[in-house]
Every structure is written in C-alpha cells, then in structure tokens.
Amino acid sequence: MKHFLKETDFNPHEVAEVFALARELKRKRGRNKPVLANQTWALIFSKASTRTRVSFEVGIHELGGHALFLNKNDLHLGRSESIADTARVLSRYVHGLVVRTYAHSDVEELARCGSIPVINGLTDLLHPCQIYTDAFTAAERWTGPKGDLLAALRGRKIAFLGDTRFNMANSWIMGAALFGMQIALAGPKGYAPGAQIKALLKAGGLPVSFSFTTDPFEAVAGADIVYTDVWTSMGLEGEAKQRVRDMRPFTVTEKLFAAAKPDALFMHCLPAHPGEEVEQAVLDTPRSIIFDQAENRLHVQKAILSMLAR
Ligand code: CP
Ligand code: NVA
C-alpha cells in the first residue's frame, strides 16, 4: 500500500510523474479524468485549516470522488477508540485518508494499521504536500509552462528564516535534499533543526547537508528563494510570547529580502502574520508568489491523489 507521509515516499521517478501530472491537471482543469470515481476519501483534521482542507475537498470532487470531512471531535479517535481500530474500520468504508494532526507517529500508525492510502496533511514533524507544491510553484515560475521543472530546481539556494525546528523547516530540509537544492536556515539559538530530521534524511538515503546560522543576512546571501513560516505553529500557542521575543531578529524585512539575489522569490506557506515573520511590503512585492503556492496545492495534491489511487 502506497502512502504519502513524508517527502521521500515517492522515488525520484515518481516525483517527476507527480510534477508532470500536476502541470497537466492544472492545464486541463475542468476536463480532468474522474480517476476517483466511486471513491470516498475521508479528511481527518485535528487542527484548523483553510488551504489544505479546501484544496483537498475541491480536488477530490474534481477527480470524480467524494470528500468526507471529519473533525477530530466527530470521531471516537483519541477518546474511546484506538488509532489502530479507527484505521481498520475506516478502511472498510473509504478509499483513502488525508490526516492533519500533532504527532507524526499517529499518521504512521493509521497507515500501518489500515489498508488504504494515507496522505499527511501536516503533522508537527512534516508538511510534505506543501513542500512538493512549493517546489513545483518555484519551478513553474522559473521555467514557464513547458520547461523541465525538476532541472529548474537543481542547484538553487533556499534561505529559511524564523522557526527552524518545526514542520515547515523540517520539510524544506527534506525537500531541498530531494530536489538537489541548497538550504540555509537562520533562526534563534536553541531552534536548530533536531536529530529527528537528520535521521529521516539518512533513512531516505538523502545527504545531511543543510546549514544553520543565527545570522539572517548570512543565510539569505545568494538565495534564490527566501522562505518563512509563522513563529507560533498550531499547538505551540503557550510559547507565543517567548517565540516573538526569540524570533524578532528573523523578520523578513524589505532590507533582508534585498540581501538575497536581485530576482529572488519570496515564499510563505500561509497563513501569514504581517509584522511578525514578514513585513507586509514583502508579502506584496511582485516577487512574492504566495498565492500561486496556495493555488498549486490544488493541482499538486490532485496529482498525489491520482498516484495513490492507482
Ligand atoms: N499552508 C497550509 O497548510 O494552510 P492551512 O493551514 O490553511 O491548511
Ligand atoms: N507551521 C505551521 C504551518 C501551517 C500551515 C503550523 O504548523 O501551524
């Protein structure tokens, strides 16, 4: 059974297929083949979501399937029924799961115990749908509608600023290694990427080659992409005040963005908090591709769904 829980769950050949398919599905939106006809996919979300929920619901519908959204409170899961039994029961009804939750191990357990494909819609550890989409979006911008998307990524540098120890930073570390990019992370002391991400890189046969600095200007020098994420991720609200204090030097200001390559792109997974991790002026620059990223979640996830439904 094929799952998409982490970036390396597709081999390089399959990654190329996902990108090619996403481009095709985007070009032919409204005329896509109903590859999910007669299928129901359940979305189990324990955290809030605008993009992931809506893009998956719309994407499943556009591929001819039915999406069943289940808030964690709608299920017995986590109260009086185990993850294993939930996985076994849902496998009798639906054809696949998209799961957004806290512990990555919970998504792994759902995948292990069920008999249907599981897609990671964000955990504390990783957000792989976002990173595939981000890489696709930058590549699309660099190549236009016809060029080689994966070749466009190779050798590029991404600077990741702010919270360098959570899902988005981790996933970009994995993504950079997978797409042959260089990644420089800049965050406060104490927020350097942890051992778990190094172990994941090694397990996936990828090089452990990211750099970490506390100097944001050092990280953005020569960068093709400047990327940031919220300082306080879902589930970490109790640390919000401390995080604002710690991460203030890592705001993507116009001055910091100008220290990257002159044609560098600004990217953010959204939601953004202007005045915290990024200045409004940077979000608004023509080199900010944040809404293309948001749109492409739909096309790339439809490609991922199509691959898993085969
Ligand atoms: N970027 C992202 O996953 O957004 P949502 O939290 O709105 O799904
Ligand atoms: N790091 C953020 C990403 C949201 C898409 C969070 O986990 O809340």
* Domain assignment present for 44: yes
pLDDT score at 73: 86
Mutate to test the pocket of ligand 1, among 46, 56, 122, 124 (most ligand atoms within 8 A of CB): 122
Once rounded to an integer, what is the mean pLDDT over residues 53-78? 95
Ligand 2 atom closest to the CA of 124, numbered from 1:
7
Give residue 72's pLDDT band: very low, low, confident or very high (50, 70, 90): confident
Complete DSSP assignment for the chain:
---BSSGGGS-HHHHHHHHHHHHHHHHTTTS---TTTT-EEEEEESS--SHHHHHHHHHHHHTT-EEEEEEGGGSSBTTTB-HHHHHHHHHHH-SEEEEE-S-HHHHHHHHHHSSS-EEE---SS--HHHHHHHHHHHHHHHHTTTS-HHHHHTT-EEEEES-TTSHHHHHHHHHHHHHT-EEEEE--TT-S--HHHHHHHHHTT-----EEES-HHHHHTT-SEEEE--SS-TT-GGGHHHHHHHHGGG-B-HHHHHTS-TTPEEEE-S---BTTTB-HHHHHSTTB-HHHHHHHHHHHHHHHHHHHT-
* Residue 229 a catalytic site member: yes
Determine phi and psi for 98, rounding to 5 degrees.
-120, 125
**What percentage of the chain carries pLDDT values higher than 90?**
96
Once rounded to an integer, what is the mean pLDDT over residues 270-290? 98
Whether ligand 1 lies within 6 angstroms of the CB of 270 is answered as yes
Once rounded to an integer, what is the mean pLDDT over residues 172-182? 98
Whether ligand 1 lies within 6 angstroms of the CB of 70 is answered as no
Domain with residue 138: its CATH number is: 3.40.50.1370
pLDDT score at 139: 98
* Domain assignment present for 1: no
Residue nearest to atom 7 of ligand 2 (CA): 233
Residues 115 and 172 in one domain: no
Once rounded to an integer, what is the mean pLDDT over residues 16-36? 98
- Res 300 pLDDT > 90: yes
Q: Pseudo-torsion of CA 253, 236, 271, 51, nearest 10°?
A: 150
- Res 128 pLDDT > 90: yes
Ligand 2 atom closest to the CA of 47, numbered from 1:
8
Once rounded to an integer, what is the mean pLDDT over residues 252-280? 98
* Domain assignment present for 2: no
Task: Find the domain containing 277 and state its range.
Answer: 130-288
Residue nearest to atom 8 of ligand 2 (CA): 233
pLDDT score at 145: 86
Once rounded to an integer, what is the mean pLDDT over residues 192-211? 96
Residues 258 and 232 in one domain: yes
Give residue 77's pLDDT band: very low, low, confident or very high (50, 70, 90): confident
Mean of all residue pLDDT scores within the chain:
97
Residues 262 and 143 in one domain: yes
pLDDT score at 84: 96
Residue nearest to atom 6 of ligand 2 (CA): 233
pLDDT score at 184: 98
* Residue 297 a catalytic site member: yes
- Res 70 pLDDT > 90: yes
pLDDT score at 37: 98
Ligand 2 mean position to 127 CA, how many Å? 8
Residues 256 and 155 in one domain: yes
pLDDT score at 162: 98
Ligand 2 mean position to 23 CA, how many Å? 26
> Could you tell me the sign of the dihedral formed by the alpha carbons of 45, 243, 227, 105, in that order?
negative
Determine phi and psi for 267, rounding to 5 degrees.
-135, 150
Mutate to test the pocket of ligand 2, among 50, 100, 234, 278 (most ligand atoms within 8 A of CB): 234
Q: Going by C-beta distance under 8 Å and a sequence separation of 6 or more, which residues neighbour residue 55?
A: 294, 297, 298, 301
Whether ligand 1 lies within 6 angstroms of the CB of 51 is answered as yes
Residues 140 and 50 in one domain: no
* Domain assignment present for 218: yes
Burial class (CB in 10 A: 0-12, 13-18, 19+), 234: middle
Residues 139 and 41 in one domain: no
Residues 175 and 214 in one domain: yes
Once rounded to an integer, what is the mean pLDDT over residues 290-306? 98
Give residue 144's pLDDT band: very low, low, confident or very high (50, 70, 90): confident
Please identify which of the residues 9, 134, 163, 229 carries the catalytic annotation: 229
Taking CB atoms and a 6 Å cutoff, what residues make up the pocket around ligand 2? Answer: 122, 166-168, 229-230, 233-234, 269
Give dist(CA 141, CA 41) in Å, integer.
Answer: 31
Give residue 79's pLDDT band: very low, low, confident or very high (50, 70, 90): confident
Please identify which of the residues 3, 100, 165, 299 carries the catalytic annotation: 100
Whether ligand 1 lies within 6 angstroms of the CB of 206 is answered as no
- Res 78 pLDDT > 80: no
Burial class (CB in 10 A: 0-12, 13-18, 19+), 24: middle
Once rounded to an integer, what is the mean pLDDT over residues 183-207? 97
Ligand 2 mean position to 232 CA, how many Å? 8
Once rounded to an integer, what is the mean pLDDT over residues 154-183? 98
- Res 244 pLDDT > 80: yes
Residues 54 and 177 in one domain: no
pTM higher than 0.95:
yes
**Ligand nearest to the backbone CA of 270:** 1
Ligand 1 atom closest to the CA of 293, numbered from 1:
1
